[in-house]
Structure 1
Amino acid sequence: MLAAAALVAALAPPAHAAVQGEVYVALGDSAASGPLVPNQVVPDLGCWRSDHNYAHLTAQAIGARTFRDVTCSGAKTKDMYESQGTDLGSVAPQLNALSQDTTLVTVQIGANDVGLTGFIEDCLNLLPPPVGDACNDDYIENGQDTWRLKTDALRPKLVTLAADIRARAPQARIFLVGYATYAPPNGCYPRVPIIRADANYIRATLMYFNRMLAEQAAAAGLRFIDLQTPSVGHDPCAAPGVRWIEPYVPAAPAAPFHPNALGMRNFATVVTAAVTAAVTAAVTAAVTAV
């Protein structure tokens, strides 16, 4: 048995070589597509998709054999299944990009289902209290946090989505990608004009949202990639050249409160490491099983 194991170990391809054979499909919304990050690619210009988003950079890093990026700004979970309308025309359902030979899938979705963009826009406050008005109490109805209710309502949709991805791509390793840090404790008013209470509310609700994503990934048998932890200290309050997420008035090419090129490079490092680790574990398990 030892001789057989040694032979398999000698013949098994190293992890990086195994990754190079991947057929990689990237699904997701604007956090994945990279609106305004150079260079925006055709077709589907209405999706505001960058050729330097983390999916493109990950595909290059692992030497993917085939790569299909169908991430699209504004996407919701329903746009996995239905054509999505954009300012420049409609695009096909994202799940159409999957096939029986797909071996790697990343999906970052859900923020638009719960209204994250509108939520952050509502919290813009050019004047502090008592002149300016806090936004966090706008999301409390009958003593319940509506943002969290919407987050919890997304749970079964993600489990269903995971099953549908797996049905279309039965060979694939599937990674559910979380969202970055958008506010440090207490914020940084007035540099980013979100008052302290609202910054803490945004931070808490996004942490809850990412925790939900991690829980649903586990429930569905997916791998979860945490972008919140590595992006601490690189939020919109950080200085240009340090931050990975741009504030209301970007200093680097990116949409407000979306990743810039530096952020995408760092997210690609995280995603590439997760993908490579999964392949390494699979190769090791195969050798050990002999």
Structure 2
Amino acid sequence: MWRHPVFAAHHPRRSASGRRFRRGLFMLTAAATAAVTLMATNASATGADHYVALGDSYSSGVGAGSYTSSSGSCDRSTNAYSQLWANSRHPASYVSVACSGATTQDVLNNQLSALSSGTTLVSITIGGNDVGFSSVMETCVLDSDSACLNAINTATSQAKTILPGRLATTFAAIRRAAPSAHVVVLGYPELYDLSHSWYCPGLSGTDRSALNNAADLLDTQISAAAQNAGDTFADVRGQFHGHELCDFFNEWLHSVDVTDVSDSYHPTADGQSGGYYAAFSAVAP
């Protein structure tokens, strides 16, 4: 049958245009559906957690400033890594009961009540006060090299003999109180950059080296106890590398502060965000 050339040419163009329109509409719809699904997944992943922060001053945020009045002498800071994580992830619930000066016994007596069968995420720093870390630092700052080394030796002996059992008891109690939780145990940083020690005022190189070795031993014991308990150990030493004491203008730790002694040898706000928050976020769900 004869067909007018106008109609013969027009029909295929209209058909191809329709196909292109339908393909475009399908792709737009698919992209929108994927975006909505991704948003829902992210909201579920971040909003479903019931997070509890336990531990000592390194978890409460001593040294980071901006302490909440309700925390009293526990000195919980809005700059602490747990609060920073909660601010960025928006969990279903978040509470910090970490407290300055806390030992493993304090966790057992005063902090476990914050946990429940519904808790899905727990973080903790603990162990330093069990071996008298703060008194060791005070001795090293105020007394002789020999007194400092004796104090360190006493602390490291306790870290080897007393601390493992205390950590095991504490981590097991956390597991019983929050059986479904992902428990993240964070360690402690080395205090000094020994490569800069020769021109850094304060303690002797011998004392600084001994203190770093003690921190390494403490982390080794904590890491082993966490692994034995089935928990995750987050090592912060890598994050603090290049930001220890003697790393002038880049320090994430307070040196001795005579105006506020409690801040001494604790992370600054930058140490909480760049050190602890970074290490925790890398392993938290």
Unaligned 5+ segments in structure 2 are 1-36
Q: Equivalent residue for 1:200?
A: 209
Query: In the TM superposition, what is the alpha-carbon distance from 1:63 to its structure 2 partner?
Result: 1.6
CA distance in 2, matches of 1:251, 1:243: 18
SS at match of 1:183: coil
Q: Equivalent residue for 1:118?
A: 135
Q: Mark the CA change 1:209 to 1:36 in structure 2 (over 3 Å): closer, same or farther.
A: closer
> Given the alignment of the two structures, is residue 258 of structure 1 paired with residue 285 of structure 2, yes or no?
no
Q: How does 1:167-246 map to 2 (within 5 A)?
A: 167-185=176-194, 188=197, 191-240=200-249, 242-246=250-254
Q: Equivalent residue for 2:59?
A: 32
Q: Equivalent residue for 1:79?
A: 106
Q: Mark the CA change 1:72 to 1:192 in structure 2 (over 3 Å): closer, same or farther.
A: farther
> Given the alignment of the two structures, is residue 69 of structure 1 paired with residue 96 of structure 2, yes or no?
yes
Query: In the TM superposition, what is the alpha-carbon distance from 1:238 to its structure 2 partner?
Result: 1.7
Which has more helix, going by share of residues?
2
SS at match of 1:217: helix
Q: Mark the CA change 1:58 to 1:254 in structure 2 (over 3 Å): closer, same or farther.
A: farther
SS at match of 1:38: coil
CA distance in 1, matches of 2:43, 2:163: 35
Q: 2:277 aligns with which of 251, 257, 268?
A: 268
CA distance in 1, matches of 2:210, 2:134: 15
Q: Mark the CA change 1:99 to 1:225 in structure 2 (over 3 Å): closer, same or farther.
A: same
SS at match of 1:81: helix
The AA in structure 1 aligned to 2:81 is: Y
Q: TM-score, normalised by structure 2?
A: 0.79
SS at match of 1:230: helix
Query: In the TM superposition, what is the alpha-carbon distance from 1:113 to its structure 2 partner?
Result: 0.5
Select the structure of larger CA radius of gyration.
2
Q: Percent identity?
A: 28
SS at match of 2:197: coil
Q: Equivalent residue for 2:150?
A: 138
SS at match of 1:270: helix
CA contact (8 A) 2:63 2:254 kept: no
Unaligned 5+ segments in structure 1 are 1-10, 83-92, 127-131, 277-290
CA distance in 2, matches of 1:227, 1:135: 28
CA distance in 2, matches of 1:202, 1:220: 27
Q: TM-score, normalised by structure 1?
A: 0.78
Q: Mark the CA change 1:147 to 1:186 in structure 2 (over 3 Å): closer, same or farther.
A: farther
CA distance in 2, matches of 1:110, 1:42: 26
SS at match of 2:184: strand
CA distance in 1, matches of 2:172, 2:210: 32
SS at match of 1:25: strand
CA distance in 2, matches of 1:100, 1:218: 21
Q: Mark the CA change 1:155 to 1:182 in structure 2 (over 3 Å): closer, same or farther.
A: same
SS at match of 1:52: coil
The AA in structure 1 aligned to 2:263 is: A
Q: Mark the CA change 1:56 to 1:192 in structure 2 (over 3 Å): closer, same or farther.
A: farther
Flag the structure with more relative contact order, 1 or 2, with Cα contacts below 8 A and sequence separation at least 6: 1
Q: Mark the CA change 1:136 to 1:212 in structure 2 (over 3 Å): closer, same or farther.
A: same
SS at match of 2:238: coil
Q: Equivalent residue for 1:286?
A: none
